């Protein structure tokens, strides 16, 4: 009871102090204002869409379809006027644009000029879709644009249904026309069947005649083939005889010409023998001279052979000398390379010295210009004069070393060329040694050949002597042949004239037999073609007979099917109900689970939790949460004094807002007692949280409370589903109390899942226990620091 004494003092302090009482009374209405005003304003915005101004522009010029006028734009305007689901303003395009710019209209719907024209392109090869232009003024109000977008979708669906009804009506009219055409086609098919049956009988007679003609053409083909073979054999023999007679004639002519040429040749041979005898004498004398020259050549070759052997003995010494020259040249080239590198390094050093001296002179000039002391300036000038000769000398040294480096490079190039030349000389000497070896061997073979030439030339001289003797005998035989060749030539001329007549006769006979063979060949080919054609005709007649039977059966079936199709097409029933079913075959049936009647009911868990949290936060501003109304006897009594006041105010806030929601706004809940109880539980949770933060931390705790409120507004899933917010924020959902207050209110207001409600109430109770325990601990610690001695004395006094 001692703990509650401080609670009574806190209550008395509030009632006595109007500066505290009046703000507390105002804070009591904060949850009501937050939740009540928000829910009242957004209770059912779709019920007032007829007050939302929307511009409609009808530019449709209409069209013609199947001879009928089509004005879908006008029909759409009439339907919009009938429904009045928006505050429609039917204006021109210019007025609509002006209204959107001046925020007179939230959106505009434009029906373009080709709206009906595109609808009439259904039967074209490339039909064009109808376009309904929607222009929302999203900057004016984004949500109205979203609402308008849904409305336009419904309008588009209605227009599509209307157009589809028109299409369906046209299609069924075409089906009726098709039924009449099918009936006419059925009659034509019957007539076709009768004609095909007659053609079938004629085809059978044709087939029989073609089989007989096929047998006769076969016999004709066999006889023509036998005649062709005989004619071919006769032509070949006569052709052979003509060729042989031609060959014989040509042979006779050639023999006659040959006899004449033989006679002429024999006369020339006689003259040649005389000239040959003269040439033989000269040839014999020349052969003897050649024999003497060959003997002299043999002697010279043997002398040359001795000199070649001496040359071979001197070549090894020459090769050794060139090898030594090559080695020396290579060493000289390597030394010159080192010398060249040294010269280049010397040149670089000389250049660095020259550049360093130039910089020193420049620095002396700068120092002399900056110097104010005349003695110092004179000393610097003197030092510069001493350095100038050194600088000029270093430049000359650098130029000399540069020339030296260039000369070393040239010498290096010369020594490299010398080394390469010595190497080529040594290789050439090696090749010369091999060539001398081969030349010596060849010289030896040449000497041996010269000996053989001397021996052979002696035999030539002997042979020419014998040839001269035989030459006279041959001349005598040629004289006798010349006398007999004249008689042979005369007889062959007569024989050639007779062979020419034989050739002409055989050629004429061969030509006649060739024409006979050609004609018989044409006859055989014609007979073969006739036979093949007859075979094809017979096969074709068989196929024709089979096809005619199939055509007869098919035409009969076609006539029946066309008649059935015409009957079925004429039996199709088409009326307005069928057209509507064709245009809108699927109806949406909403089977809602836990129906929520309006926006207000859906947002109540979110706005009610928000109002209670803001009420608890503002209560911490008008009511002191740390300063006690009296001296607390303990930390717990200090807590009871403060928490009791907060609890009473929280209960009043809860009951007041519940009364307005249930009474004035007529919100429908699944259980009124559970709703009231859960509202109190939520209020206590937020009050205990704010009490702990502000009591323990002061103003920083109040700031933390605001941060928690912001996080709860974004992560409690009171508006959009949790999965639609950023993943980084989703992690806070399970750790904040408003998440469970929103879930519990949804269960008690809409779903009726009381087990889920109690589950969330238990979690809120856990939050309450944690925050109350933490606050009690804080008051206990603070009590020991501030009031422990005073409280102890008061206890002793009361006991005495």
Tell me the per-residue pLDDT of 65-120, one tens digit each, with 9 for 90 and over.
877 888 888 888 888 888 777 888 899 989 989 988 888 888 888 999 888 888 87
Among candidates 453, 87, 143, 63, which has minimal Cα distance to 297? 453
Kindly state the average pLDDT of the residues 600-614.
90
- Given a cut of 60, is residue 2 above it in pLDDT? no
Dihedral pair phi/psi, residue 154, rounded to 5°: -65, -40
Give residue 393's pLDDT.
Answer: 73
- pLDDT score recorded for residue 429: 66
Position 572 pLDDT exceeds 80? no
pTM of the predicted protein model: 0.49
* pLDDT confidence of residue 437: 77
Alpha carbons 193 and 186: distance in angstroms, whole number? 10
Structure tokens at 676: 């009231």
Of the listed ranges 123-137, 382-396, 602-616, the one predicted with least confidence: 382-396
Chain-wide mean pLDDT for the chain?
76
Q: In the numeric block, which tokens belong to residue 628?
A: 């006690």
Torsion of CA 432, 438, 441, 442, to 10 degrees: -110
**What confidence score (pLDDT) does residue 91 get?**
92
Scanning the structure block, which residue is given the tokens 């290096």? 412
Length of the chain, please? 800
Spatial separation of the C-alpha atoms in residues 572 and 579, rounded to whole Å = 12
Asked whether the predicted pLDDT for residue 690 surpasses 80, the reply is yes
Residue in 224, 211, 227 with CA at minimum distance from that of residue 526 = 224
For range 638-647, the mean pLDDT: 90
**Pairwise CA distance, residues 768 & 613, whole Å:** 14
Backbone angles phi, psi at 716, to 5 degrees: -80, -5
**pLDDT-based confidence at 499, cuts 50/70/90?**
low
Q: How far apart are CA 623 and CA 14, in angstroms?
A: 9
The neighbouring-strand residues paired with 110 are: 57, 133
Contact 249, 500 (CB under 8 A): yes
Question: What is the pLDDT averaged over residues 252-265?
Answer: 68
Please check whether residue 72 is in contact with residue 128, taking contact to mean a CB–CB distance below 8 angstroms. Answer: no
Whole-angstrom distance, CA of residue 22 vs CA of residue 26: 6
CA max distance for the chain: 197
Q: What is the pLDDT of residues 177-219, one digit of tens each?
A: 666 666 776 777 677 677 767 766 766 766 676 576 567 667 7
Q: Which residue has the tokens 């939302």?
A: 52
Q: pLDDT tens for residues 442-481? A: 767 867 776 776 777 677 567 667 767 766 776 676 577 6
Where do runs of H (alpha helix) occur along 63-141?
72-83, 93-101, 115-119
Q: Give the pLDDT confidence of 530-544 residue by residue, as tens digits.
A: 677 667 766 776 776
**pLDDT surpassing 60 at residue 523:** no
pLDDT digits (tens, 9 = 90+) for 317-349: 767 766 776 777 677 677 767 767 776 786 787
Helix axes 2-16, 635-659, angle to 10 degrees: 60
In this prediction, residues 272-297 reach a mean pLDDT of: 69
Question: How far is Cα 251 from Cα 193, in angstroms, rounded to an integer?
Answer: 82
Region 669-697 average pLDDT = 96
pLDDT value for 484: 63
More confident residue, 677 or 425: 677
Fold type of domain 49-179: abc type-2 transporter like fold (3.40.1710)
Give residue 1's pLDDT band: very low, low, confident or very high (50, 70, 90): very low
Residue with tokens 């399970």: 734
Q: Please answer whether residues 56 and 78 qualify as being in contact, where contact means their C-beta atoms are separated by less than 8 angstroms.
A: no
Q: What percent of the chain has pLDDT over 90?
A: 16
187-221 core/surface letters (b: 16 or more CB in 10 A; e: else): eebbebbeebeeebeebeeebeebeeebeebeebb
> Where are the chain's structural domains?
2-44+600-799, 49-179, 220-549
């Amino acid at each position: 009871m001692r703990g509650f004494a401080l609670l009574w003092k806190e209550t008395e302090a509030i009632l006595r102090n109007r500066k505290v009482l009046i703000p507390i009374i105002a804070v009591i209405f904060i949850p009501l204002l937050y939740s009540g005003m928000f829910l009242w304003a957004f209770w059912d915005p779709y019920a007032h869409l007829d007050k939302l101004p929307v511009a409609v522009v009808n530019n449709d010029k209409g069209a013609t379809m199947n001879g009928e006028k089509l004005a879908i734009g006008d029909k759409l305007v009439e339907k919009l006027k009938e429904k009045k689901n928006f505050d429609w303003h039917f204006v021109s395009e210019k007025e609509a644009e002006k209204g959107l710019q001046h925020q007179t209209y939230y959106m505009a719907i434009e029906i373009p000029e080709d709206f009906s024209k595109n609808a009439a392109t259904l039967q074209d090869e490339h039909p064009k879709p109808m376009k309904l232009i929607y222009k929302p003024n999203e900057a004016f109000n984004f949500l109205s644009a979203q609402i308008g977008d849904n409305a336009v979708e419904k309008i588009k669906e209605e227009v599509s249904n209307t157009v589809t009804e028109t299409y369906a009506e046209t299609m069924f009219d075409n089906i009726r026309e098709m039924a009449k055409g099918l009936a006419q086609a059925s009659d034509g098919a019957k007539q076709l069947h009768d004609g095909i049956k007659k053609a079938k009988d004629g085809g059978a007679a044709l087939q029989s005649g073609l089989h007989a003609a096929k047998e006769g053409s076969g016999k004709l083909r066999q006889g023509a083939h036998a005649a062709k073979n005989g004619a071919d054999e006769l032509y070949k023999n006569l052709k052979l005889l003509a060729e042989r007679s031609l060959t014989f004639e040509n042979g006779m002519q050639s023999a006659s010409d040959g006899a004449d040429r033989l006679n002429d040749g024999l006369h020339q041979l006689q003259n040649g023998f005389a000239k040959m005898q003269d040439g033989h004498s000269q040839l014999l004398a020349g052969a003897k001279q050649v024999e003497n020259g060959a003997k002299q050549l043999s002697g010279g070759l043997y002398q040359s052979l001795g000199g070649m052997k001496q040359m071979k003995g001197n070549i090894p010494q020459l090769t050794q000398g060139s090898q030594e020259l090559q080695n020396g040249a290579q060493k000289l080239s390597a030394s010159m390379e080192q010398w060249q590198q040294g010269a280049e390094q010397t040149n670089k050093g000389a250049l660095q010295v020259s550049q360093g001296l130039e910089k020193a002179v420049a620095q002396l000039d700068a120092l002399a210009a900056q110097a104010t002391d005349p003695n110092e300036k004179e000393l610097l000038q003197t030092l510069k004069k001493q350095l100038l000769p050194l600088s000029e000398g270093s430049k000359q040294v650098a130029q000399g070393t540069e020339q030296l480096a260039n000369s070393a490079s040239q010498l290096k190039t010369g020594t490299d060329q010398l080394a390469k030349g010595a190497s080529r000389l040594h290789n050439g000497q090696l090749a010369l040694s091999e060539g001398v070896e081969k030349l010596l061997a060849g010289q030896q073979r040449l000497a041996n050949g010269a000996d053989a030439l001397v021996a052979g030339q002696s035999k030539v001289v002997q042979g020419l002597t014998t040839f001269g003797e035989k030459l006279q005998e041959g001349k005598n035989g040629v004289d006798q042949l010349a006398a007999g060749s004249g008689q042979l030539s005369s007889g062959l001329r007569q024989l050639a004239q007779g062979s020419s007549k034989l050739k002409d006769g055989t050629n004429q006979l061969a030509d006649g037999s060739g024409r006979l063979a050609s004609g018989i060949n044409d006859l055989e080919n014609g007979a073969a073609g006739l036979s093949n054609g007859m075979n094809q005709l017979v096969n074709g007649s068989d196929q024709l007979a089979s096809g005619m039977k199939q055509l007869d059966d098919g035409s009969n079936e076609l006539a029946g099917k066309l008649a059935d199709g015409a009957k079925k097409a004429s039996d199709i029933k088409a009326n307005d109900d069928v057209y509507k079913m064709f245009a809108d075959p699927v109806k949406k049936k909403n089977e809602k689970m836990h129906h929520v009647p309006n926006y207000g009911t859906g947002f109540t868990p979110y706005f009610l939790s928000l109002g209670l949290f803001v009420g608890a936060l503002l209560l911490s501003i008008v009511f002191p949460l740390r300063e006690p109304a009296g001296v607390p006897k303990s930390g717990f009594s200090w807590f009871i004094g403060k928490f009791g006041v907060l609890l009473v105010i929280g209960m009043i806030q809860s009951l007041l807002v519940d009364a307005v929601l249930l009474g004035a706004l007529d919100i429908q809940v699944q259980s009124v007692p559970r709703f009231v109880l859960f509202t109190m539980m939520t209020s206590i949770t937020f009050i205990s949280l704010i009490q702990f933060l502000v009591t323990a931390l002061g103003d920083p705790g109040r700031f933390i409370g605001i941060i928690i409120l912001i996080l709860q507004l974004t992560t409690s899933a009171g508006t959009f589903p949790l999965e639609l917010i950023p993943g980084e924020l989703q992690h806070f959902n399970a750790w904040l109390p408003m998440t469970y207050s929103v879930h519990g209110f949804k269960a008690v207001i809409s779903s009726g899942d009381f087990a889920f409600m109690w589950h969330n109430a238990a979690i809120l109770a856990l939050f309450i226990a944690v925050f109350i325990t933490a606050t009690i601990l804080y008051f206990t610690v603070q009590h020991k620091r501030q009031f422990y001695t005073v409280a102890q004395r008061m206890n002793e006094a009361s006991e005495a």
